[in-house]
Copies of this chain bind each other. A is one copy, B any other.
Amino acid sequence: MSAQKRFFLFAVCLIFSAWGLRAAGRSAKAADSPSGQVRAYVANNKAAILQEFAGLLSIPNLASDQENIRRNAARIVSMLQQRGVEARLLELPGAPPYVYGELRVPGATRTVAWYAHYDGQPVDPAQWATKPWTPVLRDGPLGEGEKEIPLAGATGPFGDEWRIFARSASDDKAPIMAMLAALDALRAAGGSPSVNLKFFFEGEEEAGSPHLQAAFEKYAGVLHADAWLLCDGPVHQSRRLQLYFGARGVTDAELTVYGSMRVLHSGHYGNWAPNPAMLLAHLLAGLRDPDGAIRIPGYYDDVRPLTAEENQALDAVPAVEPQLRAELGLDWTEGHGQSLSRLIAMPAINLRGIESGHVGAKTQNAIPTEATASLDFRLVPDQTPEKVRAKFEAYLREQGYFLVSEAPDAEARKTHPKIIRLRWGPGYPAGRTSLSLPFSRAVITAMEGASGTPVIKMPTLGGSVPMYLFQQMLKAPVIGLPIVNHDNNQHAANENLRLKNLWDGIEVFAVLFARLGHDWQ
């Protein structure tokens, strides 16, 4: 640590202590620090926080489910208003409403805006141990002899390792709940925010945020802020808090390869009739090697090299690979031994799913008529969805395929020997914020000052959040601050939130509300 940095932290501690003493003066029951007071508030109010959270989790939240997505938005508006936050819906035709809330703080000179999303990934109920939108409390992860604890009327004590299971328990309703509870906690501790607060909660993030750009255009004035904090994604696998200064961009595609128009007996036609599943396997195998390296010519041309500061930050990331390998049952990983944090700073193509014919009990001695694969592409600066799409399409054409957007009819089949139906989802590029901006330093200082431990600084998150839009459209720096556990089954069945992450999340939000205005030099 440099001498300069030591002095900086010392100064910050002075400010923090002064604020702490002021807060303590207001409350007879005050603990030694605002952090301590917040922690005490949380400890005494876990049951009420969990009940309110369970209510929010019980509303189905697929972006495509218009009725229920609006019920979520209305509930969150009401939760904000109960805390004196001026809240309303920002509407855009065809989009789930954006929940907007504003809390002006007398004397505050800066405004910090907080992003989260209230929609969730699609669910496959058959894969869930209990219903996705019926929150269930268990005393540990699934499959480790865990017990279910009745949630209704639960009074505690609540184990730190207990988990609440529901779609979006982690991704991404947890930060919304934590921010609101942080306001309660801060006030109960006699404190108040040090910056003006704006809350902005999206309802179609898991659908690829197709209207976010338009929303930012329309509501640029309303959403003006000095900086943004994006509260999405998980903490580090070491369970330590992390900040992410960038996020990979994303686009996705579904491709279908066609064989015979009707299912054929594999004995009578096998070796002559094309097998679309086998053709697809060849296409996919040509796309990337088993280690993850992408084989599309020129695919890495647009990758911006990491800066020295980013490389340093990556070197300081704790090694979690041995723990993860044990936890996930992996004796082999992609990337030739490079660290997870370095690998997610690179472009990736992920095969999300593949389907053709039948396996298992439904297996037939037949040649399938079509084969479908679903891919997601993770982008880094300076890749763009447009460039990635062009390169992928060129690759498919080089393999001899004619690209269409609808299933080909008999006529189209006559003129093209090999046809792929290709459907692109929405997408957006990566974003990255410099680690050395004043706002970046303020957030780091506030968090490290309150916890006394270094925060992990990730130059980029592996997952995708549309950070680029905040930078490009709202002209503000943006940093990611996740609070949920990494082992949360996010995007899959049995999604869950570890309770300790909720309590810690409330605390970190309360600390940032209280300190950001002071630490921002």
Contact = CB atoms under 8 A, between A and B. Distances in A.
A461 interface: yes
A270 B344 contact: yes
A264 B495 CA distance: 11
A372 interface: yes
A7 interface: no
A318 interface: no
Interface stretch (A80-88, A222-230, A278-286, A388-396): A278-286
A75 to B, nearest CB: 25
Interface string A254-269: 1000111111111111
A502 interface: no
B268 A463 contact: yes
Contact of A363 (B258, B344, B353, B360): B353
Interface in A395-436: 408, 410, 413-418
A275 interface: yes
A349 to B, nearest CB: 8
Contact of A329 (B284, B340, B413, B490): B413
Nearest to A357: B353
Band of interface residues on A: 35 or more
A332 B363 contact: no
Contacts of A349: 270
A52 interface: no
Contact of A333 (B252, B261, B272, B491): B272
A224 B364 CA distance: 33
A358 interface: yes
B355 A254 contact: no
A453 interface: no
A359 B254 contact: yes
Nearest to A281: B284
Contact of A266 (B285, B378, B414): B378
A374 B261 CA distance: 21
A331 interface: yes
A273 B330 contact: yes
Interface in A331-387: 331-335, 340, 343-344, 346, 348-368, 371-374, 376, 378
Contact of A353 (B327, B340, B358): B358
Top 4 nearest A-B pairs (CB, nearest first) are A267-B463, A353-B357, A332-B417, A263-B492
23 contacts: A121-B365, A122-B361, A252-B365, A260-B330, A262-B328, A264-B492, A266-B348, A269-B340, A270-B292, A271-B292, A271-B335, A271-B344, A272-B340, A273-B334, A281-B284, A282-B290, A329-B410, A331-B414, A331-B415, A352-B358, A352-B365, A354-B354, A359-B374
Interface of A: 121-122, 124, 206, 233-234, 248, 250, 252, 254, 258-275, 277-282, 284-286, 288-290, 292, 321, 326-335, 340, 343-344, 346, 348-368, 371-374, 376, 378, 408, 410, 413-418, 461-464, 486-487, 489-493
